[in-house]
Chain A
Amino acid sequence: DIQMTQSPSTLSASVGDRVTITCRASQSINSWLAWYQQKPGKAPKLLIYKASSLESGVPSRFSGSGSGTEFTLTISSLQPDDFATYYCQQYNGYSTFGQGTKVEIK
């Protein structure tokens, strides 16, 4: 299985901050990477697919980049609704997920 490792595990930030989360794959996955946002008690929500494509309806402050084994999710200006846990998913074959990054209020 392809292992996905996110960093950091927890991130403390303030409204308006620029936030970056990193996801590393144990082998190359080309651009087959997605990012999700999950709030407590809710299902994950797709934000980014194919590493950098913004899902319809997702605010433009979210962006994704990377290819191969290293990827980033950036929130350009953190909003109150963005405090949540974020997961990356590789889908270069059988899907696996990162362990999550919790974005909390500083």
Chain B
Amino acid sequence: QVHLVQSGAEVKKPGASVKVSCKASGYTFTNYAMHWVRQAPGQRLEWMGWINVGNGNTKYSQKFQGRVTITRDTTASTAYMELSSLRSEDTTIYYCARGRGSNCFACAFDIWGQGTVVTVSS
């Protein structure tokens, strides 16, 4: 079965960085892109960025440009999302999601991780 399992909840101080991992199983990791989406309580989903897992190319939402870095480790079938210069507004749930299609940038997301809660508090 296809699964994405994310790392556990994090508590960070303002100005710090957080790195969330997303381990894939049940499919060929390098054939599918990974996207990162976040969702504040009661708010709409917000796309943050994308990585072509095959070649490592990335694109980021302009909102997070300069603060977010998405990487992958193909040997570990794991993608990572690092967000820096954290502020209170970054307190939310972060999801990884597989693109439905071969390393697609513009696509629907067919498999999601369980979500990682990041809390930013002094």
Contacts and interface: CB of A to CB of B under 8 A. Distances in A.
A46 B44 contact: no
B106 A44 contact: no
Interface stretch (A10-18, A65-73, A74-82, A87-95): A87-95
A91 B109 CA distance: 10
A94 B49 CA distance: 9
A97 B47 contact: yes
B47 A43 contact: no
A87 to B, nearest CB: 6
B113 A43 contact: yes
Contacts, number: 49
A103 interface: no
A7 to B, nearest CB: 14
B108 interface: yes
Nearest to A44: B112
Nearest to B114: A43
Contact of B45 (A32, A55, A89): A89
B100 interface: yes
Given A94-B47, A98-B44, A100-B44, A46 B106 contact: no
Contact of A87 (B44, B100, B106, B114): B44
Given A43-B113, A43-B115, A94-B61, A49 B108 contact: yes
Given A43-B113, A43-B115, A100-B44, A95 B100 contact: no
Contacts of A50: 108
Interface of B: 35, 44-47, 59, 61, 95, 97, 100, 106-110, 112-115
A-B complex: 9 closest residue pairs judged by Cβ atoms: A43-B112, A34-B108, A49-B108, A95-B47, A97-B45, A91-B106, A99-B44, A97-B44, A46-B110
Interface of A: 32, 34, 36, 43-46, 49-50, 55, 87, 89, 91-100
21 contacts: A34-B108, A34-B109, A36-B45, A43-B97, A43-B113, A44-B109, A45-B112, A46-B108, A49-B100, A49-B108, A87-B44, A87-B45, A91-B107, A94-B61, A95-B47, A95-B106, A96-B47, A97-B45, A97-B46, A98-B44, A99-B44
